Chain A
Amino acid sequence: MSKNTLAAACALLLLTGAGVGAGAAQAKTLVYCSEGSPENFNPMINTTGTTFDANRPVYQRLIAFKPGTTELEPSLAERWEVSEDGKTITFHLRQGVKWQSNSRFKPTRDFDADDVLFSFDRQWKDDNPYHKVSGGGYDYFNDMSFPKMLAAIDKLDDHTVRFTLNYPQTPFLADMAMEFAAIQSKEYADALLKAGKPELIDQEPIGTGPFEFVVYQKDATIRYRAFKDYWGPKPKLDALVFAITKDPSVRLAKLRADECQVMPYPNPADLPAIRADANLQMLQQPGLNIGYLAFNTQKKPFDDKRVRIALNMAIDKKAILDAVYQGAGTPAKNLIPPTMWSYDNDIQDFKYDPDAAKKLLAEAGLPDGFETDLWAMPVQRPYNPDARRIAELMQADLAKIGVKARIVSFEWGEYRKRVQQGEHQMAQLGWTGDNGDPDNFFVPLAGCAAARSGGGNSAKWCNQQFDDIVNKAATLIDQKARAQLYMQAQVIMHEEAPFYFIAHSVVFMPMRKNVTGYMMSPLGAHDFSNVDLQ
């Protein structure tokens, strides 16, 4: 008897043990070694990629970027219409979209027009009760000129919202796919306001996305689980964990030990070892960015385009890419990266030719060269791994044509400020695109409005013809017509050479071999909605 009982107990134990084991095997959890802590859980307020990544599983927008591209596709809006004059955009909202829930909040209704109005009013209107919550600095909303651009947002019915603009602005649609245009639940906001804890909306987010937020342990982990009522294709993972790991070498160590399955931003020096590791795979893609050297065209001798072209011919780009980017960059010949629509591939980059450069300088009245400064930022940027080293290489090349360049640097914030004020003669800087629209490169980096002191056009270059073209392109709806204009703009820019384009950096994503379905985003977003583990 007792023997039987023991046997039965053992069998039961084994069975339950097996059951537990099987359950554990079925729950598919992907651990992502993220590079830092999110500032909070609201993509309207913060501007860092780290915070955007932490919000991406939860929040959605009316429009989305098609995975792996910068093309737009419907998301919470099923479709939209733009009026003839380009000033009215009507969004038809998707029906039957469920809101997530948490211990404080159970939604009683689906997503509707009130949520859209709330999400934009919060950023736009001083009298919205949430406007000041969580600090209330809506940087992107302001940067993308929404307060200037928006005339009205109206609810036509529960599932139709109309945006009226003060002037036609086609990149508006791409803006609407940006992180800051996330849709929050008005019902949740109202409930929190009533409970006297409005700030929780940005700490315990409720969204419509494929994953629900579970818990954030400060500086350690963020946990999500698949949202079972998600309107789109169900995520293949059951759970998603962000393990915050700041040091790139440690991230790689965790990846190798299978403590995480995907990591961003590897050390360039580790790339060969990652490629050699049989357990790992690595995806790569040119980033949506540009690193350049800007000539201050409002200062002598850079007001003469012959000098700018001469310098473009005097610097050996290949040497910089080999020595500094080490395979993590593609040489740049245009302001926009080759993955962006309207990229003009017919433009021939200036050939490295010191003799021709010297001749051109002599033509410009500077046969013995000149003295100049050459600014290098003190920090690594996504588009420029080592500005100081690049400056040294440039300095050596320029010396060959008699140009004596003195390398200058400041603390990063100070550096940007001074370059924007135009204190430099030549300065390195760069840009990472926000929404995949060419307008987002041409206007803030080379437009006349940005050439004022304090503006982002660090060449301080104002070419009326170029400016008219890019401004006109922003008002057209037809993408083909826009692309043609941007191509013309690139030709002018090449002829005038206000910049020496260095490179577009390549972004790498190492991951375990068993990760499938991960698609790199040209915008640098890390998205796990279609990812699976084999």
Chain B
Amino acid sequence: MLRFLLRRIGLIIPTFVGVTLLTFAMIHLVPGDPVEVRSGEHGIAPERLAILRHEMGLDQPLWKQFLHYEGQVASGDLGTSVVTQDSVWTEFIQLFPATVELSVCAILFAIAVGLPLGVIAAAKRGTGFDYTLMGASVTGASMPIFWWGLMMILVFSVALGWTPVSGRISDQFYVQPITGFMLIDSWFSDDAGAFRSAASHLILPTIVLGTVPLATVARMTRSSMLEVLGEDYIRTARAKGLGRFRVIGVHALRNALIPVVTVIGLQTGALLGGAILTETIFSWPGVGHWLVEAIQRRDYPVLQGGVLLVAVLVMLVNLGVDLAYGLLNPRIRR
């Protein structure tokens, strides 16, 4: 087990270097730099442009800039935003809890709804319910998030008035960030109604972000269940006279869950991609929103640091999934 763990961790380092190199290369391929971008129609005098670029180190050859950046990261410094002059790490820490809160809610929602639906579809294979559900899940998995989010807002917030439009909490409340997780902070705040407000603000973004993983989880559960339901031991269990619920809910589901766990792990990465769009629609102050802004402003340090941190996170989640899988399935521990 230890060797397995070490090997997995060992793989992280080259991935890490690869990610920094790739991000670095990509943003430098995009024309324009932070100085030019902010100058707008005014333009900027060539002498001033040269001075500012020199101050930011942008006049160095690219490989030098990259090595400098790698050295900086290796010593734990992610740099400072060229726009706000705040350290990248400070900004990330301020915004990251919002993304985590939303992503966790979305994945829980996807599991809570997708898993039972997948099980029922498998149990009722070939019925109208099965076909409807699978049709809906194809639609769900290919749903354009931007359109979906706006539709949800128009229906539930504007037309029906059931949910708030956007943001994390109603503007009448000011909750001092302690953990950064609005649900937790508002729970402990003195304002009555703050928690309710925070929870209601989570509903639509959770559904929108959770839609794609929900569809994926439902489909995966269904097919994995179908496979398991065809196994001999299920027939044996049935022959023993066990109840339908016990056969499906206990004997089949447990074994069917193994691939589903992997899919949930993989969805975490996809979830962060979806979070960028969801956060933009719902004005959710998380890292997705932040990275989009950094691209527009060519805020290199934020973009590099932010992508790096997100990549590390995805790697950690995948490592966690690998480990969990290793625990569940001894055959892959070699």
Q: In the complex the two chains form, is B150's CB within 8 Å of A250's CB? A: yes
B22 to chain A, nearest CB (A): 20
Interface size on A, residues (CB 8 A): 55
Chain B residue contacts of A143, Cβ below 8 A: 42
B32 and A220 contacting across the interface, CB-CB below 8 Å: no
Q: Given the complex of chains A and B, what is the CA–CA distance between A260 and B46 in angstroms? A: 43
A250-B150, A259-B171, A429-B41 as given contacts; A411 in contact with B32, CB under 8 Å: yes
Flag if A223 contacts B283 (CB, 8 Å): no
Tell me the residues in window 45-66 of chain B with beta carbons closer than 8 Å to chain A beta carbons: 45-46, 48, 52
Across-interface contacts of A243 in B (CB, < 8 A): 166-167, 171, 283
Bound-state CA distance A218–B289 (Å) is 11
Complex CA distance for A431 and B83, rounded to whole angstroms? 23
Residues of A within 8 A of B170 (CB): 259
B157 within 8 A of partner (CB): yes
Residues of B270-305 contacting chain A, CB below 8 A:
280-283, 285-286, 289-290, 293
**In the complex where A37-B293, A219-B289 touch, is A416 in contact with B83 (Cβ < 8 A)?**
no
Given contacts A217-B285, A416-B43, contact A250 B36 (CB under 8 A): no
CA distance in complex: A54, B131 (Å): 53
Question: Are A219 and B95 neighbours in the complex by a CB distance under 8 Å?
Answer: yes
The answer to whether A256 and B158 touch across the interface, beta carbons within 8 angstroms, is yes
Contact with B along A179-199 (1 / 0, CB 8 A): 000000000000000000001
Secondary structure call for the A interface: mixed
Give A400-440 interface residues, CB cut-off 8 Å to B.
410-414, 416-417, 420, 429-432
Is B85 within 8 A of A135, CB to CB? yes
B210 within 8 A of A: no
Q: Which of A218-237 contact B (CB under 8 A)?
A: 218-221, 223
A241 interfacial by beta-carbon distance below 8 Å: yes
Q: Is B234 an interface residue (CB 8 A)?
A: no
B4 located at the interface, meaning its Cβ lies under 8 Å from any Cβ of chain A in the complex? no
Quick one: closest B residue to A429, CB to CB?
B41
B153-186 interface (Cβ within 8 A of A): 153-154, 157-158, 161, 164-168, 170-172, 174, 177
Cβ 8 A contact of A431, one of B37, B39, B41: B41
Contacts of B19 in A (CB 8 A): none
Complexed CA–CA distance, A47 and B153 (Å): 33
CB distance from B264 to the nearest CB of A (A): 28
Is the beta-carbon distance between B285 and A218 smaller than 8 angstroms?
yes
For A134, A135, A411, A414, the residue with the greatest tally of chain B CB atoms inside 10 Å of its CB is A135
Indicate if the CB atoms of A257 and B36 lie closer than 8 Å.
Answer: no
List the B residue with the shortest CB-CB distance to A199: B85
- Answer yes or no: A368 CB below 8 A from chain B CBs: no
B85: chain A residues at CB < 8 Å are 40, 134-135, 199, 202
Report yes or no: A250 in contact with B168, Cβ–Cβ below 8 A. no
The residue that B36 contacts in the complex, of A246, A247, A417, with Cβ under 8 A, is A417
User: Does A218 lie within 8 Å of B94, measured CB to CB?
Assistant: yes
Distance to closest chain B CB from A180 (angstroms): 12
Q: Which residue of A lies closest to B286 (CB)?
A: A219
Identify which of B45, B153, B164, B171 gathers the most chain A CB atoms within 10 Å of its CB: B171
Q: Are B41 and A253 in contact (CB under 8 A)?
A: no
Q: How many residues from B make CB contacts under 8 Å with A? A: 50
* Interface 0/1 of A143-185, CB less than 8 Å to B: 1000000000000000000000000000000000000000000
Q: Is B171 within 8 A of A241, CB to CB? A: yes
Residue B253, interface by CB 8 Å = no
Known: A37-B293, A253-B165. A29 touches B158 (CB 8 A): no
In the complex, are the beta carbons of B43 and A456 less than 8 A apart? yes
The answer to whether A137 and B52 have CB atoms under 8 Å apart is yes
Interface positions of A from 38 to 54, Cβ below 8 Å from B: 39-40, 46-48
Minimal beta-carbon separation of B53 from chain A (angstroms): 11
Residues of chain A lying within 8 A (CB to CB) of residue B154: 253
User: How long is the Cα–Cα vector from A414 to B95 in the complex, in angstroms?
Assistant: 32
**Which A residues lie within 8 Å of B48 (CB)?**
142
- Interface residues in A237-281 by Cβ distance below 8 A to B read 241, 243-247, 249-250, 253-254, 256-257, 259-260
Q: Is A215 an interface residue (CB 8 A)?
A: yes
Interface centre among B39, B40, B165, B177 (most CB of A within 10 A): B165
Of chain B, the residue at the smallest CB distance from A42 is: B85
Supposing A40-B85, A243-B171 touch, asked if A219 and B37 sit within 8 A by C-beta, the answer is: no
**Smallest Cβ-Cβ distance to B30: which chain A residue:** A411
Q: Is the CB of A135 within 8 A of B43?
A: no
Q: Is B84 an interface residue (CB 8 A)?
A: yes
A413 to B295, CA, bound (A): 13
Asked if B91 is at the interface (CB within 8 A of a chain A CB), the reply is yes
Docked-complex contact A430 and B165, CB < 8 angstroms: no
The reply to whether B172 and A29 form a contact with Cβ atoms under 8 Å apart is: yes
Cβ of A454 and Cβ of B165 under 8 Å apart?
Answer: no
Among the listed A221, A246, A250, which residue makes an inter-chain contact with B153, where contact means beta carbons less than 8 Å apart? A250
Partner of A47, one of B33, B38, B171, B293: B38
Is residue A451 contacting chain B, with contact meaning CB distance below 8 A? no
Least CB separation from A20: chain B residue:
B192
Decide if B243 is an interface residue (CB 8 Å cutoff).
no
Tell me if A139 is interfacial: C-beta within 8 Å of chain B: yes
A139 to B172, CA, bound (A): 36
Q: With A and B bound together, what is the CA distance between A246 and B31 in angstroms?
A: 24
Instruction: Please state if A259 and B165 are interface contacts (CB–CB under 8 Å).
Output: yes
On whether A257 and B52 interact (CB within 8 A), knowing A134-B85, A219-B95, A429-B41, the answer reads no
Interface residues of B, Cβ cutoff 8 Å to A? 30-33, 35-46, 48, 52, 82-85, 91, 94-95, 150, 153-154, 157-158, 161, 164-168, 170-172, 174, 177, 280-283, 285-286, 289-290, 293
6 residue pairs, one from A and one from B, having the closest CB atoms:
A413-B32, A219-B285, A220-B285, A411-B31, A245-B283, A254-B165
Q: 17 A–B contact pairs at CB < 8 A?
A: A139-B38, A199-B85, A202-B85, A217-B177, A218-B91, A218-B94, A220-B167, A241-B171, A249-B153, A250-B283, A253-B150, A253-B158, A259-B164, A259-B165, A420-B43, A455-B43, A456-B41
13 new A-B pairs (CB below 8 Å) besides A47-B40, A456-B41? A37-B293, A39-B83, A202-B85, A215-B174, A219-B293, A244-B283, A250-B165, A250-B166, A253-B158, A259-B171, A260-B171, A429-B41, A430-B41
